[in-house]
Structure 1
Amino acid sequence: MYTQCPECLSVFAVDARTLAQAHGFVMCGHCGAGFDSIATLSDQLPPEPFFELPSHEPGIEPPRVELVVYRPKSASEQAETEAPPAEDVFADLIVTPRFARDVRADKPRRWPWVVACLVLLMGLTTQLAWALRDTLVTDPTTGSLLQQVCNALQCQLPPVRDVAKLRLLARDVQTHPTVPGALLISATVRNDATFTQPWPVVTLRLSDGNGKVIAMRRLNAYEYLDDTEALRRGLQPGASTALVFEVEDPGHQAVAFDLGFE
């Protein structure tokens, strides 16, 4: 709100607290004159340029206010508010038999929490089983149970590789009978593990008389095994198989060879 000094015509911004301190009578901060600030009180300034704020003519009859914001209750109204209705008093005296109560209303619904906990537990168990899958599959007890479950569900267990359980029973190397400049290497391998293993990666090394490696070949399963179904099944537990490899002959310097699994 704004008011204007009638002596020097200075315009000041005022608030309700300032007006209430002396019932609208203020002192001009510019010329020091005292004046009634309510006489020129205005909510907004008129557009510039302006010289004087419009004055409020004193009314013959004070204005009547109608919009009630707050009014304290009388003693009689307060007593009526605190007294409970008669029907509420009698309602408090009525006791419902225990057998007639709804038991479901007394118990909170816990099944959403139970379902959420079960889902989280299943997820945690699945993650733990996946992290320990090699141990579970290779264990004789759990591996057998998992295999039975997987057979019933028509699924396949994840392959577990343990080349330490692959035993080389026999091996032989000779000149290839039909391909010039090539060697024919054969090996018999047995899976001593209690679980099915994927076909291993075979490493062949040919060395001279001093033990120096002069040729090496690393063969994946699909390079030495043409049977797609056998590749999918893997090497069954306790099963033996013969592997044949065709490699280039490095010459007369090769007097020994070594065969390993990865």
Structure 2
Amino acid sequence: MYTQCPECLTVYKLEAELLVPACGCLRCSHCGTVFNALGTLAAHLPAEPFTQLPMHALDQEPPVVDVAVFRPRPAATTPEPVPEAVVSLVADDGVVEAGPEPAPLGEDFSQLTFTPKFARTKKPRAWRSLAWVGVCAVLVLGLGAQLAWAKRDSLVADPTFGPVLQAACGVLGCHLPLVAAPGRLRLLARDVEQHPSVPDGLLITASVHNDAAFAQPYPVVTIVLSDANGQRLAMRRFQPADYVGDADARARGLGADATTAMVFEVQDPGQHAVAFAFSFE
């Protein structure tokens, strides 16, 4: 709240507690004038520029307050006797009897109490909570499935999760994706000889073992022929379809801890080819 000294026109900001001790009168700290702060009391300042706050008339009829929120109960005291008016009653036998006149009834506010009104809060229904829990569980499972599919190669190749996934797929009847791990293929034996039916051809055979604990696709095999000085004479890359004719076998891949024989037909580069090398991709 704000008020203004009528002498020096100084505007002060004050709290309601300052108006209680002297019934609304205050002393100006600037000029020392004692004035009634209620005359210019305002909740907000007017728009600037301004010189004086609006004056309030203090000689009006007091307003009536009618919104009652609390009234204390009266103390328990013995009420003073009230003179009872005497009325005459005529009985059936003609005898006049005197009795007290009943007191007029009035409003009794002694039991008036104030009860605050609280907003009623509705409790959520149990089925809605269960529905939200179910939806969240489905979303979490879907997210986990997406992450597992994105990292499927790592999970299948993992020595801990790979056997568990294989066992689960064996029960459910599903097939795990083939994970290529050419570094775990081991060449057991190899041999080169003249082709029995092609005059200028060579027949190269190799025995390969899969050291991985999971099935992997047949690799791309690169064969390099070189001379005695290590000079490369010929090279060819064989796709799985070039040395595995069965499409179903290619789809199943090379099983875990399995050994397979590979046969390759190449053209003889001449008498200078004395060495050959295998590599897997």
Q: Same fold (TM over 0.5)?
A: yes
2:132 counterpart of 1:116: no
Q: Distance in 1 between matches of 2:139 and 2:254?
A: 37
Secondary structure in 2 aligned to 1:253? Answer: coil
2:176 counterpart of 1:157: yes
Q: CA deviation at 1:209?
A: 2.1
Richer in helix (by share): 1
2:87 corresponds to which residue?
A: none
2:185 counterpart of 1:169: no
The normalised TM-score by structure 2 is 0.53
2:123 counterpart of 1:106: yes
Q: Distance in 1 between matches of 2:143 and 2:248?
A: 35
1:203 corresponds to which residue?
A: 222
Q: What amino acid does structure 2 have at the position aligned with 1:181?
A: D
After superposition, residues 1-262 of structure 1 pair within 5 angstroms as 106-108=123-125, 109-262=128-281
Q: What amino acid does structure 2 have at the position aligned with 1:116?
A: V
1:49 corresponds to which residue?
A: none
Q: What amino acid does structure 2 have at the position aligned with 1:186?
A: T
Count, aligned residues: 160
Q: What amino acid does structure 1 have at the position aligned with 2:262?
A: L
Q: CA deviation at 1:207?
A: 1.2
Q: CA deviation at 1:132?
A: 2.0
Q: Distance in 2 between matches of 1:244 and 1:145?
A: 34
Q: Distance in 2 between matches of 1:245 and 1:173?
A: 9
Secondary structure in 2 aligned to 1:209? Answer: coil
Q: What amino acid does structure 2 have at the position aligned with 1:203?
A: T
2:57 corresponds to which residue?
A: none
1:85 corresponds to which residue?
A: none
Q: Distance in 2 between matches of 1:212 and 1:123?
A: 56
* CA root-mean-square deviation: 2.0
Q: What amino acid does structure 1 have at the position aligned with 2:205?
A: S
Q: Distance in 2 between matches of 1:111 and 1:213?
A: 71
Q: Distance in 2 between matches of 1:198 and 1:245?
A: 18
Q: CA deviation at 1:134?
A: 1.7
CA deviations 1:41-78 (Å, max 9, x no partner) are xxxxxxxxxxxxxxxxxxxxxxxxxxxxxxxxxxxxxx
- Unpaired runs of 5+ in structure 2? 1-66, 68-121
Q: CA deviation at 1:156?
A: 0.9
Q: Distance in 1 between matches of 2:221 and 2:240?
A: 8
Between structure 1 and structure 2, the one with the greater Rg is 2
Q: CA deviation at 1:106?
A: 2.7
Q: What amino acid does structure 2 have at the position aligned with 1:113?
A: W
The normalised TM-score by structure 1 is 0.57
Q: Distance in 1 between matches of 2:239 and 2:171?
A: 31
Q: Distance in 2 between matches of 1:212 and 1:111?
A: 74
Secondary structure in 2 aligned to 1:110? Answer: helix
Q: What amino acid does structure 2 have at the position aligned with 1:131?
A: A
Q: CA deviation at 1:229?
A: 2.7
Q: What amino acid does structure 2 have at the position aligned with 1:261?
A: F
Q: CA deviation at 1:113?
A: 2.4
Q: Which runs of 4+ in 1 moved over 4 A?
A: none
Q: CA deviation at 1:239?
A: 1.1
CA deviations 1:117-144 (Å, max 9, x no partner) are 2222112211221222122112233212
Secondary structure in 1 aligned to 2:136? Answer: helix
